[in-house]
Amino acid sequence: MSKTSAIGVFDSGLGGLTAVKELIRFLPNENIVYFGDTSRVPYGNRSKETITRYAMQDARFLQTKDIKILIAACGTVSSVAGNLGDEFHMPYTGVVNPTAYAAANTTKNGKIGVIGTTATINSSSYKHAIENMNSSLNVYQRDCPLFVPLVENGFIDKNDIVVRTVVQRYLQPLIDSGVDTLILGCTHYPILREAIADVMGDGVALIDSGRETARYAAKLIKENGLENPQQESGSCEYFVSDRVDGFSKVASLFLGNTFNQEVHQINIQHY
Protein backbone atom coordinates (compact mmCIF):
# COMPACT_ATOMS: atom_id res chain seq x y z
CA MET A 1 0.00 0.00 0.00
CA SER A 2 1.34 3.47 -0.86
CA LYS A 3 0.07 7.03 -1.31
CA THR A 4 -0.56 6.36 -4.98
CA SER A 5 -2.65 3.25 -4.24
CA ALA A 6 -6.35 3.52 -5.03
CA ILE A 7 -9.45 4.14 -2.94
CA GLY A 8 -11.45 0.90 -2.96
CA VAL A 9 -15.22 1.37 -3.02
CA PHE A 10 -17.92 -1.27 -3.15
CA ASP A 11 -21.67 -1.60 -3.05
CA SER A 12 -24.24 -4.30 -3.66
CA GLY A 13 -24.88 -2.70 -7.05
CA LEU A 14 -24.57 0.72 -8.56
CA GLY A 15 -25.76 2.81 -5.61
CA GLY A 16 -22.18 3.27 -4.41
CA LEU A 17 -21.53 5.35 -7.51
CA THR A 18 -23.24 8.23 -5.68
CA ALA A 19 -20.23 8.11 -3.34
CA VAL A 20 -17.79 7.80 -6.28
CA LYS A 21 -19.29 10.92 -7.86
CA GLU A 22 -18.56 12.88 -4.68
CA LEU A 23 -15.09 11.31 -4.23
CA ILE A 24 -14.16 12.52 -7.70
CA ARG A 25 -15.38 15.99 -6.69
CA PHE A 26 -13.59 16.10 -3.29
CA LEU A 27 -10.43 14.20 -4.32
CA PRO A 28 -9.90 14.72 -8.05
CA ASN A 29 -6.34 13.39 -8.11
CA GLU A 30 -7.04 10.10 -6.31
CA ASN A 31 -7.34 6.78 -8.15
CA ILE A 32 -10.54 4.83 -7.48
CA VAL A 33 -11.43 1.17 -7.94
CA TYR A 34 -15.17 0.43 -7.79
CA PHE A 35 -16.85 -2.92 -7.41
CA GLY A 36 -20.63 -3.34 -7.77
CA ASP A 37 -21.95 -6.78 -6.89
CA THR A 38 -24.58 -6.63 -9.62
CA SER A 39 -25.12 -10.39 -9.72
CA ARG A 40 -26.34 -10.42 -6.11
CA VAL A 41 -28.05 -7.03 -5.70
CA PRO A 42 -30.19 -6.33 -3.68
CA TYR A 43 -28.57 -7.09 -0.32
CA GLY A 44 -31.19 -5.17 1.65
CA ASN A 45 -33.64 -8.03 2.14
CA ARG A 46 -31.03 -10.68 3.04
CA SER A 47 -29.83 -12.02 6.41
CA LYS A 48 -26.94 -10.57 8.40
CA GLU A 49 -24.87 -13.72 7.72
CA THR A 50 -25.38 -13.54 3.96
CA ILE A 51 -24.71 -9.80 3.78
CA THR A 52 -21.52 -10.20 5.85
CA ARG A 53 -20.29 -13.08 3.68
CA TYR A 54 -20.93 -11.05 0.51
CA ALA A 55 -19.24 -7.97 1.98
CA MET A 56 -16.14 -10.01 2.89
CA GLN A 57 -15.88 -11.32 -0.68
CA ASP A 58 -16.35 -7.82 -2.11
CA ALA A 59 -13.62 -6.43 0.15
CA ARG A 60 -11.28 -9.37 -0.60
CA PHE A 61 -11.62 -8.67 -4.31
CA LEU A 62 -10.78 -4.99 -3.81
CA GLN A 63 -7.80 -5.96 -1.69
CA THR A 64 -6.28 -7.60 -4.80
CA LYS A 65 -6.28 -4.15 -6.46
CA ASP A 66 -3.66 -2.31 -4.39
CA ILE A 67 -6.00 -0.11 -2.37
CA LYS A 68 -5.06 2.15 0.55
CA ILE A 69 -8.53 2.68 2.04
CA LEU A 70 -11.73 0.65 1.91
CA ILE A 71 -15.19 2.18 1.62
CA ALA A 72 -18.41 0.20 1.97
CA ALA A 73 -20.59 2.62 0.00
CA CYS A 74 -23.63 0.61 0.99
CA GLY A 75 -25.96 1.42 3.86
CA THR A 76 -26.86 -2.23 4.25
CA VAL A 77 -23.28 -3.53 4.54
CA SER A 78 -22.30 -0.62 6.81
CA SER A 79 -25.24 -1.43 9.07
CA VAL A 80 -24.78 -5.16 9.55
CA ALA A 81 -21.28 -6.33 8.55
CA GLY A 82 -19.25 -4.84 11.43
CA ASN A 83 -15.91 -3.05 11.07
CA LEU A 84 -14.27 -4.42 7.93
CA GLY A 85 -11.22 -2.26 8.64
CA ASP A 86 -10.23 -4.55 11.53
CA GLU A 87 -10.52 -7.55 9.24
CA PHE A 88 -8.55 -6.03 6.37
CA HIS A 89 -6.04 -3.97 8.37
CA MET A 90 -6.56 -0.72 6.54
CA PRO A 91 -8.40 2.57 7.00
CA TYR A 92 -12.11 1.85 6.52
CA THR A 93 -15.42 3.62 6.53
CA GLY A 94 -18.98 2.62 5.95
CA VAL A 95 -21.70 5.19 5.37
CA VAL A 96 -23.53 5.14 8.71
CA ASN A 97 -21.29 7.16 11.05
CA PRO A 98 -20.40 10.03 8.69
CA THR A 99 -24.05 10.39 7.66
CA ALA A 100 -25.39 10.20 11.22
CA TYR A 101 -22.87 12.86 12.25
CA ALA A 102 -23.99 15.22 9.47
CA ALA A 103 -27.67 14.71 10.37
CA ALA A 104 -27.08 15.29 14.08
CA ASN A 105 -25.37 18.57 13.21
CA THR A 106 -28.10 19.66 10.80
CA THR A 107 -31.36 19.18 12.71
CA LYS A 108 -32.81 22.21 14.45
CA ASN A 109 -35.90 20.64 16.01
CA GLY A 110 -34.15 17.43 17.13
CA LYS A 111 -36.30 15.16 14.93
CA ILE A 112 -34.40 13.12 12.35
CA GLY A 113 -35.93 10.69 9.84
CA VAL A 114 -33.98 7.75 8.42
CA ILE A 115 -34.91 5.80 5.32
CA GLY A 116 -33.02 2.72 4.17
CA THR A 117 -33.31 -0.90 3.13
CA THR A 118 -35.12 -3.35 5.40
CA ALA A 119 -31.82 -4.79 6.74
CA THR A 120 -30.54 -1.28 7.50
CA ILE A 121 -33.69 -0.19 9.31
CA ASN A 122 -34.01 -3.47 11.23
CA SER A 123 -30.45 -2.99 12.50
CA SER A 124 -31.29 0.55 13.77
CA SER A 125 -27.69 1.42 12.88
CA TYR A 126 -28.31 5.10 12.13
CA LYS A 127 -30.60 5.46 15.17
CA HIS A 128 -27.94 4.04 17.49
CA ALA A 129 -25.19 6.16 15.94
CA ILE A 130 -27.25 9.35 16.30
CA GLU A 131 -28.33 8.58 19.86
CA ASN A 132 -24.70 7.87 20.81
CA MET A 133 -23.76 11.31 19.50
CA ASN A 134 -26.64 13.10 21.23
CA SER A 135 -29.18 11.22 23.31
CA SER A 136 -31.69 14.08 23.20
CA LEU A 137 -32.32 13.59 19.47
CA ASN A 138 -35.39 11.68 18.29
CA VAL A 139 -35.01 9.31 15.35
CA TYR A 140 -37.88 8.04 13.20
CA GLN A 141 -37.10 5.15 10.84
CA ARG A 142 -38.77 3.70 7.78
CA ASP A 143 -37.65 1.03 5.34
CA CYS A 144 -38.43 1.66 1.67
CA PRO A 145 -37.87 -1.69 -0.07
CA LEU A 146 -39.29 -0.55 -3.41
CA PHE A 147 -36.83 2.34 -3.84
CA VAL A 148 -33.84 0.24 -5.00
CA PRO A 149 -35.78 -1.64 -7.72
CA LEU A 150 -37.29 1.67 -8.87
CA VAL A 151 -33.84 3.24 -9.23
CA GLU A 152 -32.18 0.20 -10.80
CA ASN A 153 -34.99 0.19 -13.39
CA GLY A 154 -34.72 3.90 -14.15
CA PHE A 155 -37.96 5.01 -12.42
CA ILE A 156 -36.67 8.28 -10.97
CA ASP A 157 -38.74 11.10 -12.46
CA LYS A 158 -40.49 13.02 -9.69
CA ASN A 159 -43.50 13.53 -11.95
CA ASP A 160 -43.89 9.83 -12.71
CA ILE A 161 -47.09 8.62 -11.06
CA VAL A 162 -45.49 5.35 -9.92
CA VAL A 163 -42.51 7.14 -8.34
CA ARG A 164 -44.69 9.75 -6.67
CA THR A 165 -47.12 7.24 -5.26
CA VAL A 166 -44.42 5.00 -3.79
CA VAL A 167 -42.43 7.91 -2.35
CA GLN A 168 -45.53 9.48 -0.81
CA ARG A 169 -46.66 6.16 0.68
CA TYR A 170 -43.30 5.52 2.38
CA LEU A 171 -42.58 9.06 3.55
CA GLN A 172 -45.97 10.18 4.87
CA PRO A 173 -45.36 8.76 8.39
CA LEU A 174 -42.08 10.71 8.58
CA ILE A 175 -43.82 13.90 7.47
CA ASP A 176 -46.43 13.25 10.18
CA SER A 177 -43.63 12.87 12.76
CA GLY A 178 -42.42 16.39 11.95
CA VAL A 179 -38.80 15.56 11.04
CA ASP A 180 -36.75 18.52 9.79
CA THR A 181 -33.85 16.33 8.58
CA LEU A 182 -34.01 13.13 6.56
CA ILE A 183 -31.13 10.70 6.09
CA LEU A 184 -31.06 9.04 2.67
CA GLY A 185 -29.55 5.98 4.34
CA CYS A 186 -29.10 3.88 1.23
CA THR A 187 -26.67 4.99 -1.46
CA HIS A 188 -29.30 4.41 -4.16
CA TYR A 189 -31.66 6.99 -2.72
CA PRO A 190 -29.92 10.23 -3.78
CA ILE A 191 -31.07 9.33 -7.30
CA LEU A 192 -34.64 9.81 -6.04
CA ARG A 193 -33.67 13.05 -4.32
CA GLU A 194 -35.95 15.33 -6.37
CA ALA A 195 -38.98 13.12 -5.80
CA ILE A 196 -38.17 12.81 -2.09
CA ALA A 197 -37.57 16.56 -1.72
CA ASP A 198 -40.87 17.31 -3.44
CA VAL A 199 -42.82 15.08 -1.11
CA MET A 200 -40.99 16.12 2.11
CA GLY A 201 -41.26 19.84 1.32
CA ASP A 202 -38.80 22.73 1.59
CA GLY A 203 -38.37 22.69 5.35
CA VAL A 204 -36.69 19.28 5.42
CA ALA A 205 -32.91 18.92 4.90
CA LEU A 206 -31.90 15.78 2.99
CA ILE A 207 -28.62 14.14 4.04
CA ASP A 208 -26.93 12.18 1.24
CA SER A 209 -25.02 9.15 2.58
CA GLY A 210 -22.77 9.00 -0.51
CA ARG A 211 -21.70 12.62 -0.13
CA GLU A 212 -21.08 12.51 3.63
CA THR A 213 -19.06 9.32 3.26
CA ALA A 214 -16.90 10.80 0.53
CA ARG A 215 -16.32 13.88 2.70
CA TYR A 216 -15.28 11.66 5.62
CA ALA A 217 -13.06 9.46 3.40
CA ALA A 218 -11.16 12.60 2.35
CA LYS A 219 -10.54 13.34 6.05
CA LEU A 220 -9.46 9.75 6.72
CA ILE A 221 -6.96 9.81 3.87
CA LYS A 222 -5.50 13.05 5.16
CA GLU A 223 -5.30 11.87 8.78
CA ASN A 224 -3.46 8.73 7.68
CA GLY A 225 -1.02 10.73 5.54
CA LEU A 226 -2.16 8.87 2.43
CA GLU A 227 -2.93 11.78 0.08
CA ASN A 228 -1.85 11.04 -3.46
CA PRO A 229 0.94 13.47 -4.42
CA GLN A 230 0.21 13.11 -8.17
CA GLN A 231 -1.03 16.35 -9.74
CA GLU A 232 -2.95 14.98 -12.71
CA SER A 233 -6.55 13.67 -12.48
CA GLY A 234 -6.93 10.24 -10.93
CA SER A 235 -8.21 7.19 -12.77
CA CYS A 236 -11.37 5.17 -12.07
CA GLU A 237 -11.62 1.45 -12.73
CA TYR A 238 -15.01 -0.25 -12.64
CA PHE A 239 -15.79 -3.91 -11.90
CA VAL A 240 -19.12 -5.71 -11.66
CA SER A 241 -20.12 -9.32 -11.03
CA ASP A 242 -22.77 -9.58 -13.76
CA ARG A 243 -23.08 -8.59 -17.40
CA VAL A 244 -21.49 -5.28 -18.33
CA ASP A 245 -23.97 -4.20 -20.98
CA GLY A 246 -26.52 -1.80 -19.57
CA PHE A 247 -23.99 -0.62 -16.97
CA SER A 248 -23.19 2.60 -18.84
CA LYS A 249 -26.79 3.77 -18.97
CA VAL A 250 -27.43 3.36 -15.26
CA ALA A 251 -23.90 4.50 -14.31
CA SER A 252 -24.45 7.76 -16.21
CA LEU A 253 -27.50 8.34 -14.05
CA PHE A 254 -25.54 7.82 -10.83
CA LEU A 255 -22.41 9.69 -11.84
CA GLY A 256 -24.32 12.56 -13.41
CA ASN A 257 -22.37 12.52 -16.68
CA THR A 258 -22.04 10.35 -19.76
CA PHE A 259 -20.27 7.19 -18.78
CA ASN A 260 -17.97 5.91 -21.49
CA GLN A 261 -15.31 3.91 -19.67
CA GLU A 262 -14.48 0.25 -19.84
CA VAL A 263 -16.20 -1.99 -17.28
CA HIS A 264 -14.83 -5.40 -16.30
CA GLN A 265 -16.81 -8.42 -15.22
CA ILE A 266 -15.36 -10.66 -12.49
CA ASN A 267 -16.48 -13.83 -10.77
CA ILE A 268 -16.98 -12.78 -7.15
CA GLN A 269 -17.33 -16.41 -6.03
CA HIS A 270 -13.55 -16.73 -6.47
CA TYR A 271 -12.89 -14.37 -3.58
Instruction: Tell me the closest approach of the beta carbon of residue 238 to ligand DGL, in angstroms.
Output: 16
Of the two residues 5 and 22, which places its CB atom closer to ligand DGL in the complex?
22
* 248-to-108, 240, 259 alpha-carbon distances in Å: 40, 12, 5
| Catalytic status, residue 186 | yes
* 56-to-67, 84, 220, 250, 251 alpha-carbon distances in Å: 15, 8, 21, 25, 24
Instruction: Tell me the closest approach of the beta carbon of residue 97 to ligand DGL, in angstroms.
Output: 14
The residue number with the shortest CB distance to ligand DGL is: 44
Catalytic residue among 23, 74, 221, 263: 74
Give the HSE-up count for residue 137: Cα atoms under 13 Å, Cβ half-sphere. 28
**What whole-number distance in Å separates Cα of residue 138 and Cα of residue 113?**
9
Q: Interface with ligand DGL by CB under 6 A: which residues?
A: 11-13, 15, 41-44, 74-76, 117, 120, 148, 186-188
Instruction: Tell me the closest approach of the beta carbon of residue 32 to ligand DGL, in angstroms.
Output: 17
**What whole-number distance in Å separates Cα of residue 127 and Cα of residue 111?**
11
Q: What are the residue ranges of helices labelled H in the chain?
A: 17-26, 48-63, 75-80, 84-88, 96-106, 118-123, 125-133, 147-152, 161-177, 193-200, 209-223, 247-255
**What whole-number distance in Å separates Cα of residue 22 and Cα of residue 214?**
6
Catalytic residue among 19, 129, 186, 204: 186
**What whole-number distance in Å separates Cα of residue 93 and Cα of residue 69?**
8
Torsion, CA 97, CA 98, CA 102, CA 103, rounded to 10: -40
Instruction: Tell me the closest approach of the beta carbon of residue 29 to ligand DGL, in angstroms.
Output: 26
Amino acid at 252: S
Amino acid at 79: S
| Catalytic status, residue 74 | yes
Instruction: Tell me the closest approach of the beta carbon of residue 15 to ligand DGL, in angstroms.
Output: 3
Catalytic residue positions, numbered: 74, 186
